[in-house]
């Protein structure tokens, strides 16, 4: 507001008006800095993927004789056809998809059952069982290789896809239960209580009521399991010897020889191996964010 000073000259505004005007400016500056920071983070995240794609279009000579950041002189699209046919990558890709999907479905369903029993059913020893599952988070993966190899040998599961699926499921159960636990604790019990009053069985409540309500957090758990299973190398390399049962992470060794290494083919294989995870993440990104947000707020 414009006022008049004692000497008759006009006074423009006051301290409060200045603060009100400067606050939106400060907010815009803060938002601008935040967006610049996010753009830089996005560039650093996307750049390795672009670099890997360009790497896959080069031959071994270009990889060593050209700058790592240079474009391929003559893009070698045939690298993708070569790895898909001659490198047997198509079979490894199918094996990776099969093992990953089977283990993810089994892990999420079993973890949901365990979490439902611990949070929704009253029975002695529930907290002890939860503690035993959480202990699994502290067991190093490599310390179990020899016991698992011995066990699978005794039950004839070495060089069998079932050994990979069971191992993935067992090691992913603790982290999956931990993800589901917060979401289950926040679910309202009134719907389940109403179903009990209507005579619904425990199986009906779990499969028809509780499980559909937990789809967002199940998507979060599924993508985390998917990333681990898809990229896993140690168990497949230890338990699988037949070429027909190998996955992408192990099959990439076919292009590494004693005297020569086809770096372009390796790059093409790596690009093929990351595409399913990127596509799954883009499709399930909204569900993942929704599941994380829902599970972080209790009540």
pLDDT per residue as tens, the chain (299 positions): 445 555 555 555 555 555 555 667 878 888 889 889 989 998 888 888 888 888 888 887 887 777 777 788 788 888 888 888 877 888 899 999 999 999 999 999 999 999 999 988 888 888 898 899 989 888 888 889 999 999 999 999 999 999 999 999 999 999 999 989 888 888 888 888 888 888 888 888 888 888 888 888 888 888 889 989 998 999 999 999 888 899 988 888 777 765 567 788 888 888 888 888 888 878 776 666 665 555 544 44
Q: pTM for this structure?
A: 0.78
Give pLDDT, residue 176: 94
Put residue 139 in one of left, alpha, beta given phi > 0 → left and psi -120 to 50 → alpha.
beta
Q: How many CB atoms lie within 10 A of CB 66?
A: 13
Give pLDDT, residue 257: 63
Report the C-alpha gap between 59 and 72 in whole angstroms.
Answer: 9
Put residue 114 in one of left, alpha, beta given phi > 0 → left and psi -120 to 50 → alpha.
alpha
Give pLDDT, residue 278: 84
Give pLDDT, residue 23: 67
Give pLDDT, residue 288: 64
Give pLDDT, residue 291: 57
Token pair 């179903």 is found at 195
Report the C-alpha gap between 93 and 137 in whole angstroms.
Answer: 29
Give pLDDT, residue 18: 54
Token pair 């000259």 is found at 9
Q: Which two tokens stand for residue 84?
A: 């898909």
Q: At what angle do helices 215-231 and 263-296 cross, to 10 degrees?
A: 150
* Cβ–Cβ < 8 Å for 91, 244: yes
Give pLDDT, residue 297: 46
Q: Which two tokens stand for residue 124?
A: 């002695």
Give pLDDT, residue 9: 52
Report the C-alpha gap between 68 and 48 in whole angstroms.
Answer: 11
Give pLDDT, residue 70: 78
- Phi and psi, residue 259, nearest 5°: -115, -30
What does each C-alpha distance from 221 to 32, 58, 129, 291 come to in angstroms? Answer: 34, 37, 20, 9
Give pLDDT, residue 102: 96
Give pLDDT, residue 27: 81
Q: Burial code of 147-162, b = ≥16 C-beta within 10 A, e = fewer?
A: ebbeebeeeebbebbe
Put residue 261 in one of left, alpha, beta given phi > 0 → left and psi -120 to 50 → alpha.
beta
Put residue 159 in one of left, alpha, beta given phi > 0 → left and psi -120 to 50 → alpha.
left
Give pLDDT, residue 209: 87
Question: What CATH architecture is 85-296?
Answer: Orthogonal Bundle (1.10)
């Amino acid at each position: 507001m414009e006022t008049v000073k004692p000497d008759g000259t006009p006074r423009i505004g006051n301290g409060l008006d200045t603060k009100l005007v400067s606050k939106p400016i400060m907010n815009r500056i803060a938002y601008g800095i935040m967006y610049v920071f996010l753009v830089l983070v996005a560039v650093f995240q996307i750049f390795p993927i672009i670099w890997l794609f360009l790497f896959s279009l080069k031959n071994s000579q270009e990889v060593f004789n050209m700058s790592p950041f240079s474009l391929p002189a003559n893009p070698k699209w045939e690298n993708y056809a070569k790895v898909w046919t001659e490198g047997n990558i198509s079979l490894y890709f199918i094996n990776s998809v099969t093992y990953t999907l089977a283990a993810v479905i089994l892990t999420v369903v079993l973890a949901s059952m365990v979490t439902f029993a611990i949070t929704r059913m009253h029975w002695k020893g529930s907290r002890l069982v939860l503690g035993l599952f959480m202990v699994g988070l502290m067991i190093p993966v490599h310390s179990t290789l020899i016991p698992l190899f011995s066990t699978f040998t005794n039950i004839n599961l070495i060089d069998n896809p079932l050994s990979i699926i069971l191992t993935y499921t067992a090691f992913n159960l603790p982290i999956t239960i931990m993800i589901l636990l917060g979401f289950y604790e926040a679910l309202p019990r009134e719907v389940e209580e109403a179903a009990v009053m209507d005579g619904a069985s425990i199986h009906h409540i779990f499969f028809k009521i509780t499980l559909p309500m937990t789809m967002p957090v199940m998507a979060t758990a599924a993508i985390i399991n998917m990333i681990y299973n898809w990229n896993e190398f140690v168990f497949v390399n230890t338990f699988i010897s037949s070429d027909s049962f190998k996955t992408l992470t192990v099959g990439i060794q076919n292009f590494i020889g004693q005297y020569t290494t086809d770096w372009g083919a390796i790059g093409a294989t790596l690009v093929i191996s990351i595409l399913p995870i990127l596509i799954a993440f883009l499709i399930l990104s909204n569900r993942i964010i929704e599941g994380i947000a829902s599970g972080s707020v209790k009540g």
